[in-house]
Structure 1
């Protein structure tokens, strides 16, 4: 695939490919350096996959779902009241406006009334990211790669049927893309969400191929597959990501049906 943009996304892609080839764990391969990435964290009996990535997703879920603050819960309620739900209605609003004249401004304007709630969501989510990873940290690619493939098995999760850190539900990646798009359009941590956006598509593609179990450890995809998806997704600009996410539930070429 020809790469037309050179910058931090291409650098991230190159870092991913180099790490996979070196066998340091992004493809679920394992190895000493993968273990070292979470070396400061206490071991968890039965845990599988990158230790740091497991901790990141565990804390993200705990913060945004299982033990969220009252302030965040109120934000969810406000979004749900405005949009009619947290996922499907927001995705449909985005799809409708994407396919009409005036996008992306029309979608930005539709999301503007809940900008303060989105600002809180961004603060909470990026706060967890920053707790574990530096800006443009290649290890964050590791975390999204493991999440997509379902190689992060964490026995601490409250529901045994969801012991694997991976997206639960077909609409999850679309919803995350749409919220990230809205936050960027509204000037809420725009650069951060433009950096994270390609990782969402990357993990979505890997999960679409792997179709991992949510309850038991999953084998990693072949490293070549991971590198190929990284080469496609990590340099993607935001407009191309929008076009890619018009497929549902899987990316084009893996059995999608069009949204609309």
Structure 2
């Protein structure tokens, strides 16, 4: 039977199927009120892992999660990401892994999320202009100060993961990965070998899985949606995989959560693996 929980960093237990908050609207109005309802419904449904980032609205996404969920229920993990900044609204977002900048972004996240410690803080992207050891060293210092609990990375290669682990313990990796896009299979294998949480972003290929004949066939047989098949496949793929599907609609949220109850047989998995050209 597929495990429904995972211990990030070996000790922080979460439900494997999480929620990506990126799509939540943050501007005033009905869409914002709907976003608050979606975030609250996610927790009502038992989700304990919520993903956000400094880049999502320049911190506005962190703020809306705090508005919706603070004071946070026990066991809820809100993980955020730093390392991409925009000096002003008129400028483009850019990679910024300078230690002072990372520290400032973490301090902002602490304030916006209304917490004293971020239990899982991920580097959104590696800044090629700053030595990796300096970027991770800054996060390690913040961890040692008690402002970060665990450190993760995003959109990296297996070689970069190995290099990062020379500087600091890595608790999670967040890379693009789904049934139809397995470019980062080597990274998943490295995470599995080391017991590192792997959080696939774009876990359902933005609906592309529904255009795949094999996925449609499995969904029809099980009387579920293609999205649920794609999420169930991820949960079956490896015990370290923690999908974080995002949505701004409660019906889609409930559909995603229900994917945890979808049981794929070995025959289903063989069909799906062949259809996507698995290694």
Same fold by TM-score greater than 0.5: no
More helix by share: 1
Query: TM-score, normalization: structure 1?
Result: 0.32
More strand by share: 2
Query: TM-score, normalization: structure 2?
Result: 0.30
Greater relative contact order: 1 or 2 (C-alpha under 8 angstroms, separation 6 or more)?
1
